């Protein structure tokens, strides 16, 4: 495992060398680069001779820093740091919250990002993903702790993260990203309504946007058939004209 320094924090990453645009996987909230989708994409890239970069946000996985010190903006900056660490064009693959960071990174690195793949993308979830009561707890107490269906540990959200999310919402109007984009979403997703991917598709400036709905798919989309779909989508979008950012 390798690492780069961002403001004194070591960000762990794994780079598979190869040809073409580098595929950069952006994990979801409290997730890391060892998840099944990230590893499957890396394995596929290696077998296909394509470049792939996985990394951990600060406070997650093997990276340094404390989880509760991080914000959406700081994790966006982590993503930009690893994108800047590699050369040439990149294809961003964002899972859940990673789909939000994917959009922020594409807006910040228009000259580098040539395509995007969102997997249950969750932009602006600090707005629609919390009840008024939960938002009040975040404002008043600075910290919200909830049981997780994905891990034995509770999910913790801080006021700093929530405020950073609210300051970086992207779905209030047209999103000036003009690259080929594929959005995959399970219709049995209990966390991110699949209708959000349809809305996102409509807001993106690109005309080359396709939304794929998996009727029996959940939020994680990590079953063998889900991963096979993700890999087919990657193969398709990498086979399109992804050489010129717009």
Catalytic residues: 96, 189, 219
Virtual torsion, Cα 215, 156, 40, 54, nearest 10 deg: 130
Dihedral Cα 50, 239, 76, 202, nearest 10 deg: -160
Q: Is 31 in contact with 95 (CB distance < 8 Å)? A: yes
Buried-state track 168-200, b at ≥16 Cβ within 10 A, e below 16: bebbeeebebbbbbbbbbbeebebbbbebbeeb
Phi, psi of 49 (to 5 degrees): 75, 25
Distance between CA 68 and CA 196 in Å, rounded? 27
> How distant, in Å, are the alpha carbons of 16, 47, 151, 226 from that of 184?
24, 23, 23, 9
Helix (H, G, I), strand (E, B) or coil at 5: strand
| Strand partners of residue 146 | 155
């Amino acid at each position: 495992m390798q690492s780069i320094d961002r403001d004194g924090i070591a960000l762990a990453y794994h780079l598979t060398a190869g040809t073409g645009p580098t595929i950069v996987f952006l994990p979801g909230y409290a997730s890391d680069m060892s998840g099944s989708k990230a590893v499957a994409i890396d394995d596929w890239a290696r077998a296909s001779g394509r470049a792939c970069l996985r990394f951990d946000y600060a406070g997650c996985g093997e990276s340094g820093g404390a989880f509760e010190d991080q914000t959406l903006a700081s994790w966006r900056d982590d993503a930009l740091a690893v994108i800047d660490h590699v050369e040439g064009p990149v294809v961003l693959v964002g899972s859940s919250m990673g789909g939000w960071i994917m959009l922020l990174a594409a807006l910040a690195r228009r000259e580098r990002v040539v395509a995007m793949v969102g997997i249950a993308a969750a932009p602006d979830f600090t707005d629609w993903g919390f009840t008024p009561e939960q938002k009040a707890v975040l404002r008043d107490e600075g910290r919200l702790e909830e049981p997780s269906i994905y891990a034995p540990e509770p999910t913790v959200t801080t006021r700093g993260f929530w405020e950073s999310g609210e300051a970086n919402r992207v779905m209030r109007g047209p999103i000036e990203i003009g690259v080929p984009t594929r959005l995959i979403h399970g219709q049995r997703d209990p966390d991110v309504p699949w209708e959000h991917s349809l809305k996102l598709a409509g807001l993106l400036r690109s005309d080359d946007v396709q939304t794929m709905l998996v009727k029996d798919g959940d939020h994680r989309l990590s079953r063998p058939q889900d991963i096979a779909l993700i890999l087919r989508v990657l193969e398709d979008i990498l086979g399109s004209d992804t050489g010129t950012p717009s």
